[in-house]
Chains A and B, each alone.
Chain A
Amino acid sequence: MPIAKLKNVELYYDEFGSGDAYFIQAQQFTNNKLHYTIDLANRGFHVFNIQIRGYSPSTLVYEDLGEAWYDTWAQDVCDFADFMGIDRFFYTGYSHGAGIGWHLCLNHPERLRGFFPIVGGPHKKDGQETGSARMNTIRAAENPETWKPYAEKMTAANTEMYKRIAARAVDEEVKQAAMAAAEQYRNFWINMPKESAVLNPRKPFPRIRTEETLIEALRTIKIPTLMIGGMKDDISTPEDMVRSCKAVENAKLVLYEDATHGSLGPEHRLEIVEDIMQFVRQRNLR
């Protein structure tokens, strides 16, 4: 099992592709069967998908880091890059993984060649410290009797989605990969330790309290940024992404009408890859 032993944490990772055009992604979980980052590796990138601290098989965390989760995860990404001998890299993240990317942009901009937040807000500063989806998970995890049904319900729609993807696929390998991806996702959720499930990172930029201050922070970002989102996303809303795109210099935003928070990545996998390749090419980033 590939584990990077850093100075104060161990991080599980998957590696795809080769070469020195590095793409890093950090998430609580990423399947290693059918994912846009795997396709990016097939298009010439050297991809590392990191499992962030707090989620097995990376080091579990038994304390609440309060407002420091995203900063810690962003620092872990940089420490991981150092461990691998990587100076600068492209970063992509999905939902909370994109949140880590936003913190990389502010805390470690010198490491980034480009940033690709997928369904990545950041969330609106509406006075709610933690998003409602995350709070549902935390509440369900407080009791083992509520966790199993919650995790089953959480993953059922995902499994159905992958079944549809498999049914549509012409390639037998894609069919099998889709079903394997669904099974991995289900296993991750069903078997998630309580200390992971109750982890509360708050929203990205937890020390920023207002939309105005958030926009000011986003305006300082100079990293080439492509945002991709779904119009039917009720967690990282398209309105949030429009706000962010308007603030980040030279940014580009692509919105797909038929995509939700969970469906965009799997259902628009190939379009996401093309969106990223096009952006890298047009901005001469490689």
Chain B
Amino acid sequence: MPIVKVNGIELYYEKYGFGDEVVLSAQQRFSEDAYPVKLAERPAEYTVYNVTLRGYGQSTHLFEAPAKGWYPTWAEDIYAFSRAMNLDSFIYTGVSHGAGVGWQLVSDFPDAVKAFISVVGAPHPRERIGGVTSKAMQRMNESAHKPEALDADDFPFYLVPTTDERRLLRRAQLKQEFQERLTSFSPEERAIHPGVIFPEARTEEELVAILSGIKVPTLLLCGMFDELSTAETAFVAAKAIPKSKAVFYQDHSHTLASEAPERLISEVTRFIDEVNQGLV
């Protein structure tokens, strides 16, 4: 089993591909056909490391929140992982909370990150500090002590109406994976509440100040009808980060990465090409 020991814990990871460009991505868990996996395939053919975050799956579980907070701790883990793999710099991409790890990385370890691609994961609006970051997360946390709080049949993401058969098939797969994941989570996994990204920024102005200091080339990929990581929050971030690029899809929501991985791959490879050409 591929495990790396860093920062006193074990991180489970999967490696895909052998290309010169190296991508790290971190999540609670990855499905076998998660969008970063496709970056190892043609046409991108990158080397991809999918790392399971501490607290989840086959990585070390925690029974209380880290003193520094989840996102700073996860970012330290990913940075340490990159050192353990002898990577001078890497591309980081993450979906939703995985993107949250990326925001912390580009803030805390900017020299290690060549480029950052945030997928449906812009920093939360400040009114969520200390409160509920999403109803899905709230129900998950409650279920740690009260299993009936979690209804596996209740899919907590808005889905944009579509007649596209491929998307409908992917939705069915996503729902099934979501249900399987929920039922397989241990109580300590369910109890994890990562909170908001950059909780030290108490106001939107303070958040913008942090974001405007980001020097890493940043691409934001967003679903216009994402009610968890909204288009409005992505807009605030994209407007603040120097030389960033943001792409909004009218026909997508928080499930963008699962329903349209080809679009994301196309955007990522283009963006990396532009970074390599010095255009970003």
Contacts and interface: CB of A to CB of B under 8 A. Distances in A.
Contacts of A253: 224, 246-248, 250
A82 B266 CA distance: 36
Contact of A257 (B242, B262, B274): B242
A271 interface: yes
Nearest to A231: B239
A274 B243 CA distance: 17
Nearest to A270: B279
A242 B266 CA distance: 22
Interface in B204-254: 224-225, 231, 235, 238-239, 241-251
> Taking chain B's interface residues, is the majority helix, strand, or loop, or is none over half, making it mixed?
mixed
A15 interface: no
- Give the interface size class of chain A: 20 to 34
A284 B191 CA distance: 45
A67 interface: no
A120 interface: no
B224 A245 contact: yes
A256 B245 contact: yes
Nearest to A248: B250
Nearest to A254: B247
A120 to B, nearest CB: 15
A213 B242 CA distance: 35
A278 B270 contact: yes
A282 B231 CA distance: 22
B263 interface: yes
Contact of A242 (B235, B249, B262, B274): B235
B279 A271 contact: yes
Contacts of A254: 245-248
A251 B250 contact: yes
Nearest to A258: B243
Given A251-B250, A258-B243, A274-B270, A282 B238 contact: no
Given A257-B241, A257-B245, A250 B251 contact: yes
Given A238-B239, A257-B238, A258-B242, A271 B250 contact: no
A252 B247 contact: yes
B262 A255 contact: no
Contacts of A211: none
A114 to B, nearest CB: 15
Contacts of B239: 231, 238, 257
A187 to B, nearest CB: 30
A258 B280 CA distance: 10
Contacts of B235: 238-239, 242, 255
A246 B231 contact: yes
Nearest to A252: B249
Nearest to A278: B266
B97 to A, nearest CB: 24
A125 B228 CA distance: 29
Interface of B: 224-225, 231, 235, 238-239, 241-251, 262-263, 266-267, 270, 274, 279
Given A245-B248, A250-B251, 11 more contacts: A231-B238, A231-B239, A242-B224, A249-B251, A250-B250, A252-B248, A254-B246, A255-B238, A255-B246, A257-B239, A282-B263
21 contacts: A242-B224, A245-B224, A246-B225, A250-B250, A250-B251, A251-B250, A252-B247, A252-B248, A253-B224, A253-B246, A253-B247, A254-B246, A257-B239, A257-B242, A257-B243, A257-B245, A257-B246, A270-B279, A278-B266, A278-B267, A282-B262
8 tightest Cβ-Cβ pairs between the two chains A and B: A251-B250, A253-B248, A257-B244, A255-B246, A250-B251, A231-B239, A258-B243, A246-B224
